[in-house]
Structure 1
Amino acid sequence: MKILFLTALLFINFSFAQQITCSPQNKEAFEIKIKEIKSLKKDDIGASMAAIGKTFLGTPYVAKTLEIGTTETLVVDLEGLDCTTFVENVLAFSLLKKSDSTTFNNFTKKLETIRYKNGSLNGYPSRLHYFTEWIANNQFKGLVTDITAKIGGTPIQKEINFMSTHRTLYPFLKDDDANLEKIKASEDYLNTQEFCILEKDNIAANEHLIQTGDIIALTTSIKGLDITHTGIATREQDGRIHLLHASTSGAVKISEKPLVDYLKGIKSNTGIMVVRVN
């Protein structure tokens, strides 16, 4: 079982973030990861996303790794990943490789930029909790482009309120009315916005337009929720797009089946969003 090293956390203060939470073990894991990444060939950002993502293969899936302590901090955890933190860490490392700047300081700056609204940690509600908002905000920052509409997606509107209607599931939300009101404000904003989805039945016909390294977000029919899972597209030896992801079944892996067939096994799935890293 993975232990979160609550008694041995390393706290570091930087001007760009209120506080960073990183155990000595994770600081060491960062240094090892940087050496792995430096050994990879210089490539386009999509290929780098997939190659760096594959260096995490076998890393355990761990839920709620960001819910540490009593206040929101920038958590660096490379030893246990959920689907979103997997994508965030891979993107941060890919941007580091692109810029040839591989210090821990620069990594945490990239991670904060990716994870928080407008790139700035300002309490729990500033985290980009809903992945449609994550996509839109990171597109605004110039880091990614939502290409779903360009590859056959259609716009939809859906009422988003899962967090506020299930507050007891979220440690920083269940007893904090101030956080709850700010989350509701984010939901109210999302409910004024459309987002495009490539519907499940249309993915096969447009699979050739998905590239290795694209971020894939799985849309859902679950009430109040936009996205249930994320990962990275990788075109494997069979010529098909598969999903490289932190799987709830245990670890970071590549789906055995192509993405189209993998999604058939998820009853609540309605389609995908496809996001390209700039």
Structure 2
Amino acid sequence: MNEINTRRGFLKSILGASALLFVGNRIPLFANQDYSVIGVEKLWRLVGEFENQTDIPINELMFKIANHFIGTPYVGNTLEGGDGELCRINFEGLDCVTFYELVLCLARSFKQGNYDINSLVNEVTFVRYRGGILDGYESRLHYTSDWIHDNVNKNVVTDITKSLGGLKFEPKVGFMSSNPDKYAALKNNPKLVKIIKKFEDEINSRKHYFIPKDKVNLIENELQNSDIICIVTSIKGLDYSHTGIISKAENGDAHLFHASTNQKKVIIDAPISEYLKKSKSATGITIVRPLEIK
């Protein structure tokens, strides 16, 4: 397993922005970056495959990249660690969030002509953290509804749910602040719990939309490759229980492409309307569409 870990202090010099460290001859690392990357060889293979294919729409580039992750093991909690909040990227193990996040950020990076690890880290940081700034555990967009809100504001995605006939719903998130013992960063840290609670209250004050479970089959033909699917849950304190992207079949069916907790790997699953029928807690979906970079 190839792992790169860097923890660098901020370079206090007017030349700091141009100060680079080079690992081998392929990986430029800015001296003020804090991150961890596992399985970086996968990035080089993807660069070789896609560096001349970036003129296609971003959703199609995402979909092509995603196909290279089929069979990747499902691994949870890859964003956690005992050495503080880092921008962690793992090519060798993905969960339902890091799967769509990674293929989205790879596509965004490639579309901008950026193929180095530092550019990918910058893109993941921009997408994963509130306002695009990594500033501790609390800056991570832990709740999917918060991720949607922030990335709509950053013009990374657009929420198309309402335009497809979506209805309002009130998630009432609060699971993290109500269960701090389940999170290493929150355990025995009441000050941080209060900060998380403030963000939960902000989430609960916003408008949210979803397509009810029994109506999803009516809008499947409107979906396209790489639309990000967020499955709304009835579980108390949570907003969404699972995520993935769409894989559009030749017959028009919109299959769920995701890191499956049941199959323990990345797969293309059943059509989303059929998949939802198997889950008692799933009440519907929210759909966000990746935007081209301007």
**TM-score using structure 1 length:** 0.92
- Return closer, same or farther for 1:148/1:16 CA change in 2, 3 Å cut-off: farther
Which amino acid in the other structure matches residue 21 of structure 1?
A: S
Q: How many Å apart are 1:237 and its aligned residue?
A: 3.0
Q: How many Å apart are 1:53 and its aligned residue?
A: 1.0
Counterpart of 1:252? Answer: 266
Q: Does the CA-based 8 Å contact 1:92-1:111 persist in structure 2?
A: yes
Q: SS of the residue aligned with 2:256?
A: strand
Deviating more after overlay: 143-152 vs 66-75 = 66-75
Gaps of 5+ in 2: 9-28
Q: Deviations over 1:117-159 (max 9, x none)?
A: 0000000000000001101100100110001000110112231
Q: How many Å apart are 1:68 and its aligned residue?
A: 1.3
Counterpart of 1:19? Answer: 34
Counterpart of 1:221? Answer: 234
- Return closer, same or farther for 1:17/1:222 CA change in 2, 3 Å cut-off: farther
Counterpart of 1:71? Answer: 84
- Return closer, same or farther for 1:101/1:195 CA change in 2, 3 Å cut-off: same
Quick check: 1:235 aligned with 2:230?
no
Q: How many Å apart are 1:188 and its aligned residue?
A: 0.9
Quick check: 1:86 aligned with 2:86?
no
Aligned residues: 270
Quick check: 1:49 aligned with 2:62?
yes
Identity %: 37
Q: SS of the residue aligned with 2:40?
A: helix
Alpha-carbon distance in structure 1 between the residues aligned to 2:207 and 2:222: 22
Superposition CA RMSD, Å? 1.9
Which amino acid in the other structure matches residue 62 of structure 2?
A: M
Q: Does the CA-based 8 Å contact 2:59-2:226 persist in structure 1?
A: yes
Alpha-carbon distance in structure 2 between the residues aligned to 1:63 and 1:101: 28
Q: SS of the residue aligned with 1:76?
A: strand
Counterpart of 1:274? Answer: 287
Counterpart of 2:120? Answer: 107
Q: How many Å apart are 1:266 and its aligned residue?
A: 0.7
Q: SS of the residue aligned with 1:234?
A: strand
Gaps of 5+ in 1: none
Counterpart of 2:222? Answer: 209
1:158 to 139, 146, 171: 171
Q: Does the CA-based 8 Å contact 1:217-1:272 persist in structure 2?
A: yes
Q: How many Å apart are 1:21 and its aligned residue?
A: 1.5
Alpha-carbon distance in structure 1 between the residues aligned to 2:137 and 2:171: 24
Q: How many Å apart are 1:54 and its aligned residue?
A: 1.1
Which amino acid in the other structure matches residue 72 of structure 2?
A: T
Alpha-carbon distance in structure 1 between the residues aligned to 2:63 and 2:133: 27
Q: How many Å apart are 1:107 and its aligned residue?
A: 0.7
Counterpart of 1:180? Answer: 193
Quick check: 1:95 aligned with 2:111?
no
Which amino acid in the other structure matches residue 118 of structure 1?
A: G
Deviating more after overlay: 156-165 vs 30-39 = 30-39
**TM-score using structure 2 length:** 0.87
Q: How many Å apart are 1:73 and its aligned residue?
A: 0.6
Higher relative contact order (CA 8 A, sep 6+): 1
- Return closer, same or farther for 1:218/1:17 CA change in 2, 3 Å cut-off: farther
